[in-house]
Amino acid sequence: MSNQRLYKSIYTIASVINSSLNPKKVLASIAEQVTQAMDAKGCFIRLLDPSGEILLPDASYGLSERYAQKGPVQVAKSLLDQDVLRGDAVLIPDVRTDQRFQYGNEAAEEGLVSLVVVPLTARGDKVVGVLRVYSGEPREFSAEEQEFLGCIANLSGIALENARMFHALKRASELAEAYNYQTFDD
């Protein structure tokens, strides 16, 4: 991955984050940019449900709909994701045979081989999800690529936090307006 390509991807992702408060749209664009920048087979972004026990699919690129909808990732059953949710990046040379990967058979059918996963953080260092990048052949992910993914995961967290704060402010404004309307109407 060249530095020019890396910087262009970061610039594009930052522009998308700056132009939209729609988390689905932003995360879908991030998944696409990451896949293309890293010449990967695909990228998957999963966010924790409110219980913190299940990683739900939120955005993907380069993967089939069948694979994207294969099922929830239960944190208790996924040793890989338990490590990532503690804040560690995880590299798996072959997801088809690694016992830490919950859906090895489905990955084999999808043609996935190597994987790198980084934690997606928001509000400081709170892990709210994971960003996964898959290759279709055995691959080692360089330290530079892992740093790039860490940067993108942090940008994703900022996008999610911006959207959450915008919607909270919008809701508070609507409630204040309804209260004022009711108070002055009485």
Output the pLDDT for position 99: 87
pLDDT at 185: 67
Mean pLDDT computed over 41-57:
94
What pLDDT, on a 0 to 100 scale, did the predictor assign at position 159?
Answer: 87
> Which structure tokens are listed for 21?
């408060």
Residue 14: closest CA among 167, 184, 156, 143: 156
Percentage of the residues of the chain whose pLDDT score is greater than 70: 98
Percent of the chain whose predicted confidence (pLDDT) is above 90: 56
pLDDT of residue 123: 79
Domains of the chain: 3-180 (3.30.450.40)
Terminal CA-to-CA distance of the chain, rounded, Å?
Answer: 65
Instruction: For the beta carbon of residue 146, count every other beta carbon within 10 angstroms.
Output: 15
Mean local confidence (pLDDT), 149-160: 90
At 89 the pLDDT is 94
Mean model confidence pLDDT for the chain: 90
Q: What is the mean pLDDT of residues 10-25?
A: 88
How big is the CA angle at 138 (ends 134 and 140), to the nearest 5 degrees? 80
- The predicted model gives 118-128 an average pLDDT of 88
- Residue 51: phi and psi, rounded to 5, are -75, -20
Which helix H or strand E contains 16, and what residues bound it? helix 3-19
* pTM of the model as a whole: 0.86
Whether residue 47 is predicted with pLDDT greater than 90 in this model: the reply is yes
Judged against a pLDDT cut of 80, whether residue 183 lies above it is answered with: no
Distance from C-alpha of 15 to C-alpha of 128, rounded to nearest angstrom: 22
43 or 21: which leads in pLDDT: 43
Residue 140 has pLDDT above 70, yes or no: yes
Residues 6+ apart with CB under 8 A from 163: 21, 22, 23, 26
Q: How far is CA 55 from CA 2, 59, 154, in A?
A: 32, 12, 18
Q: What is the pLDDT of residue 1?
A: 66
Write the CB contacts of 121 (distance below 8 Å, at least 6 apart in sequence): 87, 127, 128, 153, 154, 157
∠ CA 131-113-158 to the nearest 5 degrees? 10
CB of 55 within 8 A of CB of 101? no
For residue 122, pLDDT over 90 is answered with no
Strands laid side by side in the 54-61 sheet: 73-74, 54-61, 42-48, 126-134, 115-122, 90-92
